[in-house]
Structure 1
Amino acid sequence: MERLVIRAQRRLKVVDSSKLFQGIVIAVIILSALLIGAKTHNLSANTIAVLAILDVAVTVFFAVEITIRYLAFPEKKKFFHSGWNVFDTVIVIGSLIPTGGTGVLLARLLRVFRVLRLVSMVPELRLLINALLKAIPRMGYIALLMFVIFYIYAAIGSMLYHQINEVLWGDVSISMLTLFRVATFEDWTDVMYETMAVYPISWIYYLSFIFLTAFVFLNMMVGTVLEVMGQEHEKFRAEQHGETGDGGEPASRAQIERLEAELAEIKALLKAKS
């Protein structure tokens, strides 16, 4: 009996890891996205009935797919240790909620989120999301410093320009919204020229703010994300080749190149002795 279970688990593992099956899953996810978009149009009754049948088929397929993945997993207790497995399971279970009755809005929203399963199925997309999540703590400090700059400039702008335009500079909160408009370059010159009519040198206020926010802090955000993404790509490449460094961490490129050089020297010595 135990052998049969092991054989069945191996076969399910082969099915789950096969490129054909993964391609089918991705195709069904795309089909699910198209069904969601089609339902937003005015359609005939027959077309709506066909879409409903396809929606049921997609839901059943997702339930079967997550069951196969769970049964193929060697240690069932550790299946939900992966955040992606938890995410996929929640989406699939949520899709089982019928679209009729009081939970119709919730059911539709959960079906919309089925499109996000494409992220969990494509390793490159998972890599991008993991890098973004790991970069958030670092980006938080940059965002905090950015908020401080916004607040200082908003307070100054409210004190200087509130008499010029109460709508844009009435208080600190409104001034921060105005500065956000300036930072995103949304007709910011109109705001600047309005204050320059009263304070000709107020352009210094706007240009210094844009330099700090749009050029300095934004580039710091991008640099942080790129740094973490590079680290994630290095780890992913090392895991794909089964390379690990000291302490169980993925080996760096320098370590790999050093090992390759040492192996080349050993081969050269062996050839010289022979």
Structure 2
Amino acid sequence: MNIQTIQDRAIALKNNRAFELFVVGVIIISALLVGAKTYAIPDAVSQMIVWLDVGITFLFLFEIIVRFIAEPNKKRFFHNGWNVFDTLVVVVSLIPIDNSDMALVGRLVRVFRVLRMVSIIPELRMLLNSLVRALPQLGYVVLLMFIIFYIYAAIGATFFAPINRELWGDITISMLTLFRVMTFEDWTDVMYETMKVYPLSWSFYLSFIFFTAFAFLNMVIGIVVNVLEDEHARERAEKDEEEGNASMNDLRDEIQELKSMITRLEQRGSSNQ
């Protein structure tokens, strides 16, 4: 069996839907085992979980090897951040550190194995990539929200501190109170308390909720949706480019075959003469 045959089989296995679902199932079982270890379980069950964990680790190692073999350009395999993450998680899981001072690290790595679901499922990977790409734009939205929080917290601390210092004693406590208002956690109790002294203070809370819970939330959703659409468009363009390259390669192969046939016919004709 030559190298090309091994690579073709690895590509076929990697693109196999059943194999992908099997890996997803193994990741889910791995997550359940991490949760099971947090309970008080008998020693026999604990030992069985340990052996299952070892088996899952080797299955992950096999899956990483298959993906590496299926990669046409081996040097570019580790240019993908998810491939690096998956490899590190699997390699660290193979190190026997459960009974050492690094046991906590081993447990944390096993928890992070759940994130491999993102690297396996393209849709989840696209969502996470879109969120990461949206972070620069979301940073300005967060900055503007902080400015709104600061202004309203200063106003609240100035007017409402004599009413309830536990909620409005200084600007930092006021910002925590405003976060409570923004998340609608018993915010009406806070409002009614200040309305006893300032009857029009309801406008303070309603305007703050409008700016933060409604306006800014819609801005965040709009940014994420736009970035997600751009990510879809980029993926479609890459897919079209790959299909175009594949078509060009097929056409080039056919032309090469035609040239070979013509050459053979010419050689046969000259030999007959």
TM-score, normalising length: structure 1: 0.84
Q: 3-state DSSP class of the match of 2:100?
A: coil
Query: Which whole-Å deviations, capped at 9, do the CAs of 1:160-194 have from their partners, x for residues lacking one?
Result: 11111111111111111010000000011111111
Q: Which residue of 2 aligns with 1:39?
A: 37
> Which amino acid in the other structure matches residue 56 of structure 1?
V
Answer yes or no: is 1:176 the counterpart of 2:175: yes
SS of the residue corresponding to residue 41 of structure 2 reads: coil
- What pairs with 1:1-274 in structure 2 (closer than 5 Å)? 4-98=2-96, 99-242=98-241
In structure 2, the CA distance between the partners of 1:97 and 1:158, relative to structure 1 (3 Å rule), is farther
Q: Which amino acid is 1:124 matched to?
A: E
Instruction: For structure 1, list consecutive stretches of 5 or more residues without a partner in the other structure.
Output: 249-274
- 1:242 Cα offset (Å): 4.3
Q: Name the aligned partner's letter for residue 16 of structure 1.
A: K
CA drift at 1:154: 0.6
Contact kept? 1:158, 1:175, Cα under 8 Å? yes
**AA aligned opposite 1:219:** N
CA shift for structure 1 position 243: 7.6
| Count of aligned pairs | 244
Larger gyration radius, structure 1 or structure 2: 2
Distance, in Å, in 2 between the alignment partners of 1:201 and 1:230 is 43
AA partner of residue 206 (structure 2): L
Structure 2 SS opposite 1:102 = coil
Provide, for residues 194-239 of structure 1, a one-character-per-residue CA deviation record: whole Å limited to 9, x for no partner: 1111111111111111111011111110111111112222333444
2:262 alignment counterpart? none
Q: What is the root-mean-square deviation in Å for CA atoms of aligned residues?
A: 2.0
Query: Counterparts of 1:7 and 1:244 in 2: how far apart (Å)?
Result: 22
Distance 1:238 1:244 in 2: 10
Displacement of 1:16 in angstroms is 2.0
Whether the 8 Å CA contact 1:238–1:244 is kept in 2: the answer is: no
- Distance in 2, matches of 1:97 and 1:144, equals 43
CA distance in 2, matches of 1:234, 1:201: 49
Regions of 4+ moved over 6 Å: none
Matches of 2:222 and 2:119 in 1, distance apart? 25
Give the Å deviation of 1:56: 0.4
